[in-house]
Structure 1
Amino acid sequence: MTVTTTTPIRDIRTTPLAAALIDDVRAVVARGESPGRTADLVAAAMRGYLTRPGLLTDEQRVGSAGHYTQHVLHAEADGSFSVVALVWLPGQRTPVHDHVSWCVAGVHQGTEAERRYALVPRGETSRLVVTAEVTNPLGSVCGFAPPGDIHEVRNSGSGTAISIHVYGADVTRLGSSVRRVYEQPGAVGD
């Protein structure tokens, strides 16, 4: 029997500080906790890294005028997690979406706004209802696990925003952490 091992996909420019975060995430994921508990533990680990200079290289802080930019910092070889930096120019946003796995996001620079939704049955169909409007300032961290993870995120500030995201999946294999994009959200309190 031949056993091959693969090296984790890590941005070759990963800084020592980002490498330490990746190692801390790896230790949490190895515990084998539930998705919700894993998200909570990763969020706690991430707090110590946000806002610290040297977490990202200059190249990993660059956005695009057309859309927010994802820089993959790491994807674990076994597919158990990925770490990415999302760079948002003013006004850039995601569509309303949910995820394939647990997720933790922390604001490294700037401010992000998040609108959270619930999917509410309506006869044989469902509709989205806004459940919260959240401002995520510099240094804030939130984590969640499906179901109940429907949201949209946008840069609500006048400068570049950067957030660090850890997903419980390999985004290099999947192409994204998004499971589904939702088209017609409802109004607050609908």
Structure 2
Amino acid sequence: MAKATGPNYKVPFKRRRENKTNYYKRFAMLKSGKPRLVIRASNKNLYLQLIEFDKKGDRVIGSVCSKELEKFGWLPKANTPTAYLAGLLITKKIPKNTQAILDIGMATPTKGRILFAAAIGAKDGGLNIRIDSQIVPQERINGEHIAKYAQMLQQQNPEKFNRLFSDYIKHNFDIINLDKKFQEIKNKILNG
């Protein structure tokens, strides 16, 4: 950021200086009059909220943390299959046929990001949101890439496999058949 010099310098809002809010994008989203599907990722978890604007302050219609997937037998990590399942799960907590717009905040919209996988999960669950389903490949959503990598590591470098997938091993989670487990959990969420 440039230093404040001269009488015409305008100091940006605090949340903009902290790189938390882009007020131009936020204003454009609020003008639509639709609720926002807000998706934020941390190192370990994914947070989804359906938020509606109110003059007194934003109102949360429904929210999900990826940790909630443990109830269904899924070991939550910050990966693409977890994001998709969390997107499916939020649709069970909001009214049917809700229209929304995607809000990824200050994140860079890059093809294949887990933020978009969560949005695709919400769309598949019944949320009316505009997003191209080709932005995240289906084999990544299913977790096939993780299962293939784990299988390759288990055969070629068992020590590295044990180090990288130690949390899955500790919880007796079959990482080799991740895509089958994904389908099982997806059906549980959709039917339950």
Q: Normalised by the size of structure 2, how large is the TM-score?
A: 0.29
User: 1 or 2, which has the higher strand percentage?
Assistant: 1
User: 1 or 2, which has the higher helix percentage?
Assistant: 2
Rg larger in structure: 2
